[in-house]
Structure 1
Amino acid sequence: MELNSVKETDVLIAGAGPSGLALACDLARRGVRALVVEQAPSLFPGSRGKGIQPRTREVFDDLGVGDAVREHGGPAPIGMTWSGGERRGEYDMFRRAAPTEAEPYGEPWTMPQWRTQEILLARLRELGGDVLFSSALTGLSQDTAGVTAQLTTGEVRASYLVAADGGRSTVRRALGITMDGETVDPAPVLVADVRIAESALDRRNWHVFTGGAGYTTLCPLPGTADFQLVAQFRTGAPGLTPDAVRALVASRTHLAADAVTEVRWASDFRPRAALAERFREGRVLLIGDAAHVHSPAGGQGLNTSVQDAYNLGWKLGQVLLHGAPAALLETYEQERRPVAADMLGLSTRIHRGEQERGSAAQQLGLGYRGGPLASGRAGVLESGDRAPDGPAGEAGRLFDVFRGPHFTLLAVGTDVALPAHDGAMLRVFRAPANEAYGTGLFLVRPDGYVGWAGDGPQGLAEYAGPLGLDLKSA
């Protein structure tokens, strides 16, 4: 993509990580012009954020990449503890649940981060978008009409700028937004993608090696021949060269150094939890690691980041294309910052062994009850709740009805009069009463949460107006 062809855009996204790519896909399917710029010459090459929680799988299904995620990923393996070169027994570090009608994904999924990003980039290109690589943001200014960004490849004018450029965000620092937090664990951690001789270690388990130097794990990565190596250093610092990684494996496991046939990527970090003081400054918004940094324990970081994008995408679309007031964007921080704060706490407690990876880690219970866009309740649901899946007759599943950039006005087990118009931004659908909903009328937001609920349509039009939906004429 030549920058000269994109001097102006609706949304400039800085960063082609999972959150930036997910946002770009969501905007592209809405018809919003978006330009993604990435300072690196290619996508991130490592496996780091490999855990995909059930709620994020629902998001990916809506964005049109659910089949690819199923094809290239797999269930998180059962743990196997080793000591003294011998297996000591299996244990499961995750809560697993059988799929239900309301919750079709019951267990955590594993897929290397580089694969997730490849899948999202392929989807973005299907939708007509792309990423401008080797293009770093060096400065920005904004006024009441938009943002002007200076890049190493030129200048771009956008209505909005979204910072998806990671924990060391250039955009966040340029805005002077502080990020308060704490070191979760002073011990540095090595993360590497390695290949191991087939005869040396099986791929059935997530292998955990105990010892005084710090925990060491080798997790097989589905769809690849690789393992993700994670090693804590209670003393000293990790070496990142292939020889140093091989020596580490030999010193902490029963494997010989030459069993590691290839070191494909290696990095190190110190687990930290931090939260930006605000997620918005004028026409600039922060998502993902630019807004919050988590310990990787519990697999919350990538998932929370993608869900930031999912929350923001439809709001940008309604403001830019459908006449919603710009004040709608204020609800992004109001809804997502409390969620990020909760996930920071959860990840920290899991890292320190104070809490197990239970149902909270699956993120299916996250919602926006009592938030700025929550109004009413009906059946067994309160506005702000995640809208469950369920049977939808000839239409298939309710998630099939919801899939896409539109709102859904869902009448469950009631014959109350509904708007006859089924326009591009509103789909009207009737479903039989079911256990997950009870009965009632529900306006489901494009991100799959109940915005408004009631026994009848009274007050619905007044609620929908500020979202860019004119139900009075529907």
Structure 2
Amino acid sequence: MELNDVKETDVLIVGAGPTGLALAVDLARRGVRTVVAEKAGGLFPGSRGKGIQPRTLEVFDDLGVVGDVLEASGPAPVQMIWQNGERQGERTMFEPVEATPAAPYAGMPRILPQWRTQQILHARLTGLGGEVTFGAALTSISQDGSGVTATLSAGGRVRARYAVAADGGRSTVRAALGIGMTGEALDPSSLLVADVRVPALDRLNWHVFPADAGFLVLCPLPGTEDFQLAAQFPGGERPDLSREGVRALVAARTHLAADDVTDVLWASDFRPRAALADRFREGRVFLAGDAAHVHSPAGGQGLNTSIQDAYNLGWKLARVLRDGAPVSLLDSYEEERRPNAAQMLGLSTRVHRGEQQRGAATQQLGIGYRGGPLSVGAAGELAAGDRAPDGPVADGTLFDTFRGPHFTLLAVGTDAGIPPLDAAAVHVLRIDAYEPYGKGLFLVRPDGYIGWAGADTTGLAAYLTRC
């Protein structure tokens, strides 16, 4: 774009991390135009957010990328504890959770370096006709009653009906809007995270080296020759991020020699913090992902919560922009996601402090919106706001039926009459009684949560006018 050019679009997404890419994919498959502006020259190169939780796999199933994610990832390895160069034995990091037909991805989180997750989402976006503009930092943003205007460092301006800040914990957009972050430092210690190659170390375990000077762990990254290194620096010491500094750190805290670290591909440092944006919306601009909340990495909640922000917001923007839904639908984004993010912050903090083990709660399958603005009614075993369970049906699974931009009206073990509905917007499926649901009518939202439930269709038509 030339400096005076103005590109018109539906949604401007600032940031091409997992949040921005997931949102762009969701909008692209719904026919919503986007401009994705990323200040960096390419996709993020590090492994940082490597844990993919079961609920996020369900999101990826719906977005059409779960096959690629499963192929590229692997289960979280069992930890091996080392002391004085000797193996002390294995330790299970996660409470066991079994997969079931209702929750087919339940179990340990999958390990997948963040750079690979972003590659997969980016490939899906380009396959849908979308693109990312790299080297395009946001330099200004303003809004009026009909849209948002942004200026990019790459030149030119973007005019969008809505904008989404997915530009991380140091969000330029959040700062420009004057939205504060309320939170606390969880630990005075710095943490170093790096991607390294250590051919001398086996890849069967997640290797843990406890020490008074601070722990060091090396986790093998599936589909690569790399390990993710994480190391603690108590007492406020700042780590040396240079190649030689990382190699010397491994030599100082493990039985390995510096020369055993044959490559340092990426390194970063931070201090664990838990903080929540004071609000998730300012007019036509929304905050999502780390721009809205920052977590301790303990428990693997940050990237997963961020992707679910995008998943919650995407269908709502599309309904307003493409399907004539009332603008008030967008109010539900903050009303649903901010309490959820606060809950996840608390969970991550407890795991960080050793007060809670990683297990069912960290898998995010229990997340829901009961009592929320889009949750009406109850039937059988479920209430509106609950996650809609999977299960076998004649032509595949319930998730296959839910997949796509539509609502699904699920009639379970009931012959209740169903009035004519917009067949493109609401798909109808009747199945026999199924234990995870019981019996009743369940309207499944495009993001896989039950929006409305009842024994008959009383109130269904009124509910659909809100969405």
TM-score range, shorter chain: over 0.9
TM-aligned CA deviation for residue 324 of structure 1? 0.9
Partner of 1:15: 15
Letter in 2 for 1:423: A
Asked if the contact 1:422/1:428 (under 8 Å) is kept, the reply is no
Distance 1:96 1:105 in 2: 13
2:196 is aligned with 1:194: yes
Partner of 1:470: none
Partner of 1:216: 216
Partner of 2:441: 441
TM-aligned CA deviation for residue 5 of structure 1? 8.9
TM-aligned CA deviation for residue 423 of structure 1? 2.1
Letter in 2 for 1:223: G
Q: List per-residue Cα deviations over 1:186-232 (Å, max 9, x = no partner).
A: 100000000012xx211010000011011110000001110000000
Partner of 1:465: 465
Aligned to 1:376, the other structure's residue is in SS state strand
Q: List per-residue Cα deviations over 1:294-315 (Å, max 9, x = no partner).
A: 0000000000000000000000
Distance 1:359 1:99 in 2: 11
Q: List per-residue Cα deviations over 1:245-267 (Å, max 9, x = no partner).
A: 00000000111111101000000
Distance 1:40 1:27 in 2: 22
Distance 2:5 2:78 in 1: 50
Partner of 2:98: 98
Partner of 1:397: 397
Asked if the contact 2:2/2:156 (under 8 Å) is kept, the reply is no
TM-aligned CA deviation for residue 154 of structure 1? 1.2
TM-aligned CA deviation for residue 421 of structure 1? 4.7
TM-aligned CA deviation for residue 391 of structure 1? 1.3
Letter in 2 for 1:302: L
TM-aligned CA deviation for residue 4 of structure 1? 9.2
TM-aligned CA deviation for residue 337 of structure 1? 0.3
Q: After the TM superposition, which residues 362-377 of structure 1 pair with which residues of structure 2 at under 5 Å, given as runs?
A: 362-377=363-378
Distance 2:8 2:244 in 1: 48
TM-aligned CA deviation for residue 94 of structure 1? 1.2
Q: After the TM superposition, which residues 265-344 of structure 1 pair with which residues of structure 2 at under 5 Å, given as runs?
A: 265-344=266-345
2:61 is aligned with 1:61: yes
Distance 2:317 2:227 in 1: 39
TM-aligned CA deviation for residue 431 of structure 1? 1.3
Asked if the contact 1:384/1:450 (under 8 Å) is kept, the reply is yes
Letter in 1 for 2:220: P
Asked if the contact 1:22/1:310 (under 8 Å) is kept, the reply is yes
Asked if the contact 2:187/2:271 (under 8 Å) is kept, the reply is yes
User: Structure 2: which 5+ residue stretches go unaligned?
Assistant: none
Partner of 2:132: 131
Distance 1:201 1:2 in 2: 52
TM-score (norm: length of structure 2): 0.98
Asked if the contact 2:78/2:205 (under 8 Å) is kept, the reply is yes
Q: Which moved more, 1:211-220 or 1:3-12?
A: 3-12
Q: After the TM superposition, which residues 46-57 of structure 1 pair with which residues of structure 2 at under 5 Å, given as runs?
A: 46-57=46-57
2:188 is aligned with 1:183: no
Distance 2:41 2:4 in 1: 18
Distance 2:4 2:10 in 1: 16
Q: List per-residue Cα deviations over 1:90-128 (Å, max 9, x = no partner).
A: 111112322101000122111000000000000000111
Letter in 2 for 1:156: V
Asked if the contact 1:280/1:333 (under 8 Å) is kept, the reply is yes
Letter in 1 for 2:457: P
Asked if the contact 2:5/2:156 (under 8 Å) is kept, the reply is no
Partner of 1:232: 232
Asked if the contact 2:408/2:445 (under 8 Å) is kept, the reply is yes
- Aligned-pair identity in percent equals 69
Aligned to 1:21, the other structure's residue is in SS state helix
Distance 2:118 2:314 in 1: 18
Distance 1:3 1:68 in 2: 39
Asked if the contact 2:4/2:157 (under 8 Å) is kept, the reply is no
Distance 1:74 1:228 in 2: 14
Partner of 1:450: 450
User: Structure 1: which 5+ residue stretches go unaligned?
Assistant: 468-474
Q: After the TM superposition, which residues 353-368 of structure 1 pair with which residues of structure 2 at under 5 Å, given as runs?
A: 353-368=354-369
Aligned to 1:356, the other structure's residue is in SS state coil
